[in-house]
Amino acid sequence: MFEIVGSIDINSLLNSWLGENSWIPGAILFATWETIYMVVISTAISYIVGLPLAVILVTTDEGQILENLKLNRTLGAIVNAARSLPFIILLILAIPFTRWVIGTSIGTVASIVPLSLAAIPFVARLVETSLKEINWGLIEAALSMGASHWQIISRVLIPEALPSIILGVAITAINLVGYSAMAGVLGGGGLGTLAYYHGYMRYQTGVMWITVVILIIVVQGMQFLGDKLTARVLNQRR
């Protein structure tokens, strides 16, 4: 009996239960993987670029350790201009750049380019806010002890703002989940593409609702992970 049970083909079961819709589970799993892949890589790239940009914005501001108002205002204006673009417009404007970088403007890998471009200014302002919340007294104490500018940045600013930065990572990733679904409408891959081309264009409402549920689960999971990591960092300080 066990041999019979062990020899059951999962594909056969799916075919018998779902009939002509037996492709749906595999397609949903693959689309979910594509979405998570896009979001994780885009979030990483956005912080690699956005975090140093935020440090420059903070440290070059008036009264800060590397005060340079001309540089600060110029970078601030660029960041604000980039943030003011709706993602769907940025997605279209970035097509030539995406083709130059990736070789194509369609697909999961290609979507990472506009997703990263959209997230970088958002991350810069998010991290900037976290860094500005640090008590100036800590910086003054470090300066009085002869700390260099780099030491202040690496040993005071970043460590003190780390819990807030981690929460910012979760917020950024959650925003990118929504952006990735929007990119999917233009052939970016992931759950957005599946929901649009199969759920909407082919009137398969079941596929549409399944993708909505999965997106909610992904967002909840990212927020949960961010909260847990933040709590862990805070507990280590106590």
**Secondary structure class of 12 (helix, strand, coil):** helix
State the average pLDDT over residues 154-170: 92
Q: Residue 16 pLDDT more than 50?
A: no
Q: Report the chain's C-alpha Rg in angstroms.
A: 23
Please state the pTM of the whole predicted model: 0.85
Q: Determine the Cα–Cα distance for residues 91 and 115; give it in Å rounded to an integer.
A: 8
The string of pLDDT tens digits covering residues 75-99 is 999 999 999 988 889 988 988 999 9
Residue with tokens 């660029």: 78
Q: What percent of the chain has pLDDT over 70?
A: 89
Distance of CA 228 to the CA centre of its chain: 18
CATH code of 28-132+139-237, in short, is 1.10.3720.10
Residues 6+ apart with CB under 8 A from 84: none
pLDDT of residue 52: 95
Share of the chain above pLDDT 90, in %: 47
Which whole number is the average pLDDT over 197-225?
A: 84
Please report how many Cα atoms fall inside a 13 Å half-sphere around the Cα of residue 180, on the Cβ side. Answer: 33
Amino acid at 105: S
- Report the mean per-residue pLDDT for the chain: 85
Q: Please give the pLDDT value at position 6.
A: 45
Structure tokens at 34: 């594509």
Give the CB-side neighbour count of residue 171, counting CA atoms within 13 A. 14
Q: Can you give the residue ranges of every domain in the chain?
A: 28-132+139-237
Q: Per-residue pLDDT averaged across 18-30, rounded? A: 71
Q: What is the pLDDT of residues 48-73, one digit of tens each?
A: 999 999 999 999 998 888 999 999 99
